[in-house]
Structure 1
């Protein structure tokens, strides 16, 4: 089980660390790179070529501003690509969101919320859970824990406002 996480700049890492740790918690190998689609395109192409033969199942690409990285990667592979728009400019990430979500026909990028890397990690796990039963079970447990936490908070609220 392997996921590639590519960011446009090392400054994006702070928005991705929790998601990377989350994936590793479930024994998913995570290959992390900072490879700009604009400034390091040859190295990016080489890395994406490697993902085609090294067992990578999903690629998560995070970028801000023009945010071409997820789309460029999607154009180079048939693996699922999940785009994470990063807030990093005067437009509060809307520029990145629109750049990632508005892909031309034939080059899809699944897109999560601005700075929504945790959902990107969970979505990657859900994609891989089609093939890996242990991830399916882990996701069921994770979502059950979320439900229980929500219900416990509701009970506390109801008690407080009887």
Structure 2
């Protein structure tokens, strides 16, 4: 197969790729997969930010709870603080679980994008090869036509005529 970057002088405006609808469909699928991957990445970023915020809130609450309990023994306040701390920890765990699910989905989508890119690359190579074949056929036809024109214009040699003179043979 020839390289598609080969320069030709053939007029390929008449080229029509028979798999163009399929190629466009694959491009749309690729766009859809990339958009979904970007959406998942944004969600991962948001979940990570939320988790960092929850971790900071948990650390601050634990430090404040320890400080309050050491300064004066307020059992009810300590119990409410522990309940809030448990709620924060539950939210952290839920955030971690969501993060894990999103990372799994991202890995699936990355694989899908890679597979889709391979399909597109194959179709683009096929299209370039078909275009090259078309260009070669156009050049062949133009060359054959130019040969016919040249042959028609070339002065054909004539055979010498034998002139018979009267009395000479």
TM-score band, normalised by the shorter chain? under 0.3
In the superposition, the TM-score normalised over structure 2's length comes to 0.24
In the superposition, the TM-score normalised over structure 1's length comes to 0.25
| Greater RCO (Cα-Cα under 8 Å, separation 6 or more) | 2
More helix by percentage: 2
Larger radius of gyration: 2
